[in-house]
Chain A
Amino acid sequence: EAEVAQSPRYKITEKSQAVAFWCDPISGHATLYWYRQILGQGPELLVQFQDESVVDDSQLPKDRFSAERLKGVDSTLKIQPAELGDSAMYLCASSLGPDRGPYDFGPGTRLLVL
């Protein structure tokens, strides 16, 4: 069964360093989402892509976060510089379309900023 792939699974970094997360959605899924999940809370949408275009990044802290999906397939989320409050699980999800099919979530990347 096809799955959303994410790497790395775990990342420890020091504040002010740069970090990057990678996501490979299920083949054929045009819509890709990045979520941040703080311990004990539900996932919060950071950015939504439709193919290679950003559809919604209203909750993305653009002074330090950036996301791209250059060829409309895999995607990278970057944080520079990382802050202590960025410690969280970063989840990638994909779906056939924004209005089609359930989200398929990846296993997530757990980030710890020291």
Chain B
Amino acid sequence: DAKTTQPPSMDCAEGRAANLPCNHSTISGNEYVYWYRQIHSQGPQYIIHGLKNNETNEMASLIITEDRKSSTLILPHATLRDTAVYYCIVRRNTNAGKSTFGDGTTLTVKP
């Protein structure tokens, strides 16, 4: 499975958009990009996923570059409760669909 690279930490002002980048330059054609977040001492929470088209749901938007080598998770109006560790992972859509989590990005939303 392709590995991902994320910045270790980012800050964002409350009410502003948070843009979290992820590099997955070795992604293959059958791998999806998934984003999760983990608030302190809780289990990771699914946010969004996509293959090659941009995706949006009630939590966030996912922008995947045309070559699929990188993506950006966008939280349009960050709140203090969005402070968490955000993980970007890639996952095959086959029976060997396990994923490798890196160390993620710690997003701190500041008042």
Contact = CB atoms under 8 A, between A and B. Distances in A.
A associates with B: yes
A55 B93 CA distance: 15
Given A42-B87, A99-B92, A102-B49, A91 B98 contact: no
A44 B43 contact: no
Contacts of B98: 33, 45, 48, 55-56, 98
A25 interface: no
A42 B95 contact: no
Nearest to A56: B98
Contacts of A98: 94-98
A21 interface: no
Contacts of A4: 43
| B-side interface mostly | loop
Interface residues of B, number: 23
A103 B46 contact: yes
Contacts of B102: 42
19 contacts: A42-B102, A43-B101, A45-B98, A45-B100, A50-B95, A55-B95, A91-B44, A98-B95, A98-B97, A98-B98, A99-B92, A99-B95, A100-B93, A102-B36, A103-B46, A105-B36, A105-B43, A108-B42, A110-B41
By size class, the interface of chain A is 20 to 34
Interface of B: 34, 36, 41-46, 49, 87, 92-104
A99 B44 contact: no
A102 B95 contact: no
Most chain A C-beta atoms within 10 Å of own C-beta, residue among B94, B99, B104: B99
A106 to B, nearest CB: 5
Nearest to B102: A42
Nearest to B48: A102
A100 B92 CA distance: 10
A98 B87 CA distance: 19
A108 B100 CA distance: 18
Contacts of B45: 105
Nearest to B35: A102
Given A55-B96, A103-B44, 4 more contacts: A33-B98, A42-B101, A107-B43, A108-B43
